[in-house]
Amino acid sequence: MARVLLIGFFLMMLIIGMTMSESDADGAEGNDGVDAAGGNDGADAAGGNGGADGADGNGGAAGADGNDGTDGADGNDGTDGDDSDGSSGGRRRRRNKGKDEVFTWQQNVGAGSPVTKSAQVLANKGVIIIKSKDDDLDNLGFEQSTTTYDYSTGTSVVAIQPKGRGPCFLLEESLSYSEILDGVRQLSGTVAAKSPEISLDGTGTPLTNEDANLIFKANPEIKQTCGRGNVIVLAEPGDLPPSEGETKEIKVLTYDAELTIVAPAGRRAAAVKRFRSRVTLRNRSSYNGNQTNVIGSSQRRFSRVDEKADSRRFSWQQDLGSDRSAEKSVIVQGDDLIVTVESLDVNLSKFGFNASITTYDFTRGSGVVVMRKRVRGACYLTDEALSYRDIVDGAAQLNGTLAGRTAQVTLDGTNQSLSRTERNALFRSNPALRLPCRLRTIIPAVEPGALPSYNGTTTELKFLTFDGEITIITRSTGTD
């Protein structure tokens, strides 16, 4: 009798185990265990242990996008599907309990029939996922891909995961969350015109595990897209030293662009470390920042500063000569010794200036400054002669006035970008810089004559800082 009961118990446990296995095999979409991102199928699953050629060196053969099916790293294309966390060993995790929105449209690509694109707006998360999975893409020279726009922390982080082997690419988005949301709603059910063509450099050194995990911790949906593969921050063409190895072009469709990424060629090329200039920090002056998105008025529509409850904002009109002026604002973030200057006036481009954000970091005593365009581009570093109190008191006096024209200064920005070692040293010394510059190359801007003469094509970028009209001579990228 005891043996009968024991056999019955094992049969019951076997049935329960089979039922659980069938449930788990459904993966992210509840239909195919091989397609589950983060699953343990080995051959396809992101981070699986069966293949030898995954992007991180020990993942599955399909690499970073998590599978070789149509759904990429995100593991679903439904309104409310489940995604597997790359660290969960294939356990299903519901992405969102709210009601997501899904929009689909046709996208012209300049040749052949339009292809299908879709957008999934995650409820109450500040995340929009663009999927370009049309079967005709391969015939048109594009790769299927998933692009995740994550505004959940206030700042934009974009992850692009092409289908198949290879790294996940990160960049910063100049559009706001509301602009993309309104855009996909308007595109739904239509045939969209051909998007602009953009090229970016993806040959940079992959992020360290520490840096990647910092981003993943703050932006879990980015981790969902990137899986366990290498993560590379995209740069403007010309911002990085020339690649030493073979490269290839990866073409993907993002929300508003036909994006060509120049990436390392070869199955393990993403893991190859690049040579970086060993220029010492002696000539690489200065650093800092802080950012986020939309504040309100047309003049401050593209604000990137995450204003705290005890922040102070001062705004005034800045004289630019020839009866021209533009709004300029200073945000003082409580007592953290960080000052941010926003020059985002919609008329700046008419006057030859770049809409820009300049951040002054006085946390270590002397001022470290970073200047950056509102749109994609490098962070330019320099130092500051004024003190924290000089800027704060000056901004309070200028508030609400028409300020006289400021000094015109030229700096040389043809320097090599900081190496990984130098970036890490900078971020350790000035942690506030990590947020605004983590997805951008960092280039020191120095006095003219401090660097060897650059013989290539150059471009002038013009910024309005607190007390100057700064012209930076940069290496031309063809996109400035």
298 is a domain residue: yes
Kindly report, residue by residue over 239-272, the tens digit of the pLDDT: 777 887 889 999 999 999 999 999 888 644 433 3
Residue 228: pLDDT band (50, 70, 90) is confident
Structure-block tokens of residue 463: 């910024």
358 is a domain residue: yes
Average pLDDT, the chain: 74
Model pLDDT, residue 296: 25
Q: Of residues 464 and 305, which shows the higher confidence score?
A: 464
8 is a domain residue: no
pLDDT above 90 covers what percent of the chain? 39
Model pLDDT, residue 411: 96
CA dihedral 238, 160, 222, 22 (to 10 degrees): -150
Are 297 and 198 found together in one domain?
no
Q: Of residues 38 and 336, which shows the higher confidence score?
A: 336
Residue 306: pLDDT band (50, 70, 90) is very low
Are 324 and 358 found together in one domain?
yes
Q: Mean per-residue pLDDT for 130-144?
A: 92
Are 461 and 315 found together in one domain?
yes
Model pLDDT, residue 480: 53
Kindly report, residue by residue over 381-425, the tens digit of the pLDDT: 999 888 999 999 999 999 999 999 999 999 999 998 888 788 878
Structure-block tokens of residue 459: 């471009």
Structure-block tokens of residue 448: 């003219």
Kindly report, residue by residue over 53-79, the tens digit of the pLDDT: 333 333 333 333 333 333 333 333 433
Residue 375: pLDDT band (50, 70, 90) is confident
334 is a domain residue: yes
Are 399 and 303 found together in one domain?
yes
Are 259 and 304 found together in one domain?
no
d(CA 168, CA 73): 10
Last residue of a domain, one of 271, 306, 340: 271
d(CA 337, CA 321): 31
Model pLDDT, residue 446: 93
Model pLDDT, residue 231: 93
Give ∠ CA 277-279-283 in degrees, rounded to 5: 145
Residue 479: pLDDT band (50, 70, 90) is low
Q: Mean per-residue pLDDT for 301-329?
A: 76
Lowest mean pLDDT among 72-81, 115-124, 193-202, 304-313: 72-81
Q: Mean per-residue pLDDT for 82-90?
A: 37
Residue with tokens 């932006």: 219
29 is a domain residue: no
Q: Is the pLDDT of residue 285 over 60?
A: no
Model pLDDT, residue 9: 44
d(CA 310, CA 424): 30
421 is a domain residue: yes
Q: Is the pLDDT of residue 104 over 90?
A: yes
104 by Cβ neighbours in 10 Å (0-12 / 13-18 / 19+) ranks as middle
* 8 Å CB contact between 434 and 368: no
Are 356 and 424 found together in one domain?
yes
Are 232 and 299 found together in one domain?
no
Are 295 and 262 found together in one domain?
no
Q: Of residues 174 and 350, which shows the higher confidence score?
A: 350
Question: Considering its fold, how many domains does the chain have in total?
Answer: 2
Domain with 228 in it: 70-84+99-271
Residue 376: pLDDT band (50, 70, 90) is confident
Q: Is the pLDDT of residue 88 over 80?
A: no
Are 313 and 366 found together in one domain?
yes
Residue 102: pLDDT band (50, 70, 90) is very high
Q: Mean per-residue pLDDT for 308-320?
A: 83
d(CA 242, CA 261): 14
Are 267 and 285 found together in one domain?
no
pLDDT above 70 covers what percent of the chain? 69
Q: Residue 340 forms beta bridges with which residues? A: 331, 359
Q: Of residues 241 and 307, which shows the higher confidence score?
A: 241
Kindly report, residue by residue over 152-177, the tens digit of the pLDDT: 887 789 999 998 667 999 988 778 88
Q: Of residues 79 and 357, which shows the higher confidence score?
A: 357
d(CA 37, CA 66): 5
Q: Look up the pTM and report it.
A: 0.50
Are 458 and 319 found together in one domain?
yes
Model pLDDT, residue 425: 85
6 is a domain residue: no
Model pLDDT, residue 310: 59
Last residue of a domain, one of 232, 249, 271: 271
3-class DSSP state of 80: coil
Residue 25: pLDDT band (50, 70, 90) is very low
41 is a domain residue: no
Q: What separation in angstroms does the CA of 265 have from each of 108, 277, 282?
A: 28, 22, 35
Last residue of a domain, one of 252, 271, 290: 271
Are 224 and 316 found together in one domain?
no
